[in-house]
Amino acid sequence: MKKVGVAILGLGVVGGGTYQILTSHREFYRRTQDVDIEVVSVLELNRDRALALGVPEEKIASNIAEVVSDPEVNIVVEVIGGVNAAREFVLAALNAGRTVVTSNKELFCKYSHELERAAKRHNAGLYFEASCVGGVPIIRTLLDGVQANEISSMIGIINGTTNYILTKMYEEGTSYEDCLKEAQRLGYAEADPTADVEGFDAAYKLSILSSLAFHTKVPFAKVFREGITGITKEDIADGRKLGYVVKLLAIGKQSDAGIEVRVHPAFVRMGHPLASVGDSFNAVFVTGDAVGDIMLYGRGAGALPTGSAIVSDIIYAATHSENKYSTFKNTAGADKDVKFVSDFESAYYMRMTVEDRPGILAKISTVFGKHGVSIVELMQKPAPAEGKVRLAIVTHTTREFSVRAAVAKINTFEDVAHVDAVLRVIS
């Protein structure tokens, strides 16, 4: 039976979950996978934390050099987070010929080209299933499940924090601020939630996933990004009346026009498979030319779900002698021949406050007409300010730049107080 030694860098939430799975399932993997996986080293500055998890004191390393020079270590698991130290440690492991498994989406998004170059140079494996969508095996699916297909689109809810907040806003009718505080209290959101609520986390993941799906490098800088901080109770209520729910979506599409990649909140029509994905769950809806539509659903974060993805990579690496790398030229930037679409097509929801006087709707409609925007649904109700009304408008499919130009023009009208919200709509 093959013996594999694993070192874990960091025993926080995910590292602790990984250690727990590996130690409790060791005999199971011996029986079902014909491989004996043992945690032979951990790098954790908080020795008490390591000891509390049951790590023998002699297995607690004091520095990365000690880890990568240990002849018993075959696979190094990086779960310390951040970029600078993680990058240094992962490169040290790869340069020592050790296979690396990482859950670090920011590191992999920004430096996968550098890490893969080191892995190839030293014939080491580089695995990253846990970097995207927690325990949902989306990366293995793209690499080994749907490779017969040309993927035309991916639409996903890939950040659990924002999905929890938006679900609570929808179910309880409470404000973004109140739901964020509740998410922080429960540990779903960090004390500084910027990476999640402003869409950075989802954009890192979309960069990784779209590169794999479309077989070309899609850098983070090419991802259009908007967060959820501007979503209000009014938007949620309007969506409910119109038959929509708000989700933070990560969207990747490939067509003859090029590649479009965007992260933003959107109205999702009730009845769409993603509309029912609530709480902190994640899901990815993939369309291939042969398989059609498939959806993967599950826990997008947490100690054991993410640990499950890490251990899956460990087992894969332990049971496959040949290392696989990117199916595309993995460089820092995009290939010069790849086109990226920024003026993408979508339907739109707009909420605006206007003067309650005859002719204002005709005036707005004229602007829409000049920019190729047509209205499919309209709601009107009184605004809090006297003499004003609120308009909620849903458009037919149009172009992003057309909507931006129309909104900019409408905002110059004296009898329009302001366009309060603009959201894309997914039917």
| Those residues with Cβ within 8 angstroms of residue 306's Cβ, 6 or more apart along the chain or in another chain | 14, 17, 18, 103, 130, 134, 135
Cross-strand pairs, 144: none
| Those residues with Cβ within 8 angstroms of residue 1's Cβ, 6 or more apart along the chain or in another chain | 30, 34, 35, 36
363 is catalytic: no
| Those residues with Cβ within 8 angstroms of residue 101's Cβ, 6 or more apart along the chain or in another chain | 75, 76, 77, 78, 127, 128, 130, 310, 313, 314, 317
Separation of alpha carbons 105 and 134, rounded Å: 11
Cross-strand pairs, 388: 355
Separation of alpha carbons 306 and 129, rounded Å: 9
Annotated catalytic residue: which of 205, 217, 222, 253?
205
Mapping DSSP to helix (H, G, I), strand (E, B) and coil, where does residue 244 land? strand
User: What b/e string do you get for 372-403 counting C-beta neighbours within 10 Å, with b at 16 or more?
Assistant: ebebeeeeeeebeeeebbbbbbbbeebbbebb
Residues annotated as part of the active site: 205
